[in-house]
Chain A
Amino acid sequence: MKEPIDTNEDLRQQRGEERYFAVHESILEATIELLDSRVFTEVTIPLIADHADCSVPSIYNHFPGAVPEIFEEVSMRIRNEGFHANQEKIDQASGLQILEEMLKGLSKTIVSHRNLSHAMISYGNYAAATGGWMPDTAEYMEPLYERAREDVELPASSRELAQMTALIGRGLNHYWALLSISDEEYKKQFARSAEMAVKALS
């Protein structure tokens, strides 16, 4: 008699987890959609709840840190999508081409989520000043520079090069978000930012 009860509990737990995951996803999807059509200051918890078809307390259950936590997870998701957008080419590349392929994929993903990217470029600085933002892109690039170093001689440490590349990328993000450069120019320059970092530190 004991076993069937356990199975029921397992199934119940599994259904609970699936439901939890589905609501979590719908909150993130709703936020991505909202940020694509509004400035970040207009995106509120009740609005997200309405759009995700769930209750306000349910959102706080998933994201106790409220809007900043949701924005951070959304940004991490888009950025990770960008890091791996050209994964196959990154795996096959050598030298600085490794960084170039990654940067091409990242900038393409950023441009495809234009409004959300603009919102997060602006919001990230505010979030950082008031409590923290996602980890530095440089942390992801450092191992790629280590790989590149196996094929080419580099003028500085992988950390310094990754930091410089991320810094140039951030400068380009601002130019692009301030509408000073076109999408095509942004993507072209962004793909070159590793090459620029190597020259700057030579």
Chain B
Amino acid sequence: MRKIALFCFFIVLFFSTELYGSEIESRIKTLEETVIKQQETIERQQKMIEELKEQLREVKNETSAEEKEAKPEEEMGLKQPTPLPGLGKPPLELPDISVIGDIVGTFSDDKAEPDRNKVVLREAELALQGYLYPDIRADVIATLHRHSDGEYKAELEEGYVSFLKTPVPNLSLKIGKKLLDFGKLNPRHPHHWNFVDRPDVLRSYLGDHGLSGSGVNLSYLLPTPFFLQLDLGAWHVDSEEHHHSEHAGAEDILGLAEETYSTRLWSSFDLAENQELEFGLSGVKSYGSHFREHKDRVQVAGMDLTYRWLGKGLRRLLFQNEFLFLNRDVPVGDLDRWGLYSHLNYRFNKYWDAGIRFDWMETPFPDKKEKSFISGILTRSLTETTKLRLQYKYDAKDNNHTVYLQTIFGIGPHAHPLE
């Protein structure tokens, strides 16, 4: 009985393993088939992908001119706009740095001209400009300028902070050392002018290097339908000690110093779409630059008139005039003097402009002399900051002829406020 049971058990065991084995085999077979099928599918898909890729490449290669799917507008324009100029590279903590050089060759038959028949680097200017805070910027302009003895002296031409936003709407404030807002040319740096030399009346009445002082300036844009801006400033002007006996005609230079108050009313009118007329009134109340010797109070009033016509491309006609009236109260009496310059300039294109300038003035000294000059100027601009200029100037009174050859160069980003 036991034997039979054992036999049966083995029989069952045998058959079951037999059955089990055949089941595994069949399963493996189906699995293999499935894998093969899947492999085929993968291969087919791979092939399809390759084909699609090829097609895509072809589409792309068919120049980008091929019709593209219009992007939904939400997807467009999400990238950042370009940063402000000056932040050219990744925004390092660097201000805009620029160097401007002014090289002048002077050829003259005026023997009193100290730079006669010489080519000199008249001035090299280093400008550092940038924002300090939202709506607050700083401009520092340091210059090295040449004196007639050949020595270069360092001078801080300007160094000021501008508060572009104040609690009063439309009012801005500048504090520091600055060229005073008097007329059109005084606040501009000479490298930005259309001629080599400072107009004689400005040089004589306001100083050889222009009128600049340390103080405060308030500038208010009036709520009128046309452009009208009022500037008020209170300054201390250091006298330019070196201007006597240095340059030709240095004896004609008065210059201003000490406590100085300035004002300017600047307006502009659109005559037509491409024509504009600017009219300005300026005034300063100050002292002569040698006040301690001469005890002279000086008031200068200015009127400026600028007409601009703008044509195709960069064509421009500019007619700029400044009239200055000077009242000087010296111990011997009251001196009333006046002078003007008138400048006509035509810019042909980006590269060339030509102009003439007429100067007329009365010397601001007790022995009144009249002076008049006429200049012809031709400028070739390489870039906005690099220029080559030829100027001929005729001194009608002393019958002197002077020719200037000027090279102005600029490296680096350099900004100017509205002028």
Query: Are A and B subunits of one complex?
Result: no
Interface, chain B (partner A; CB < 8 A): none
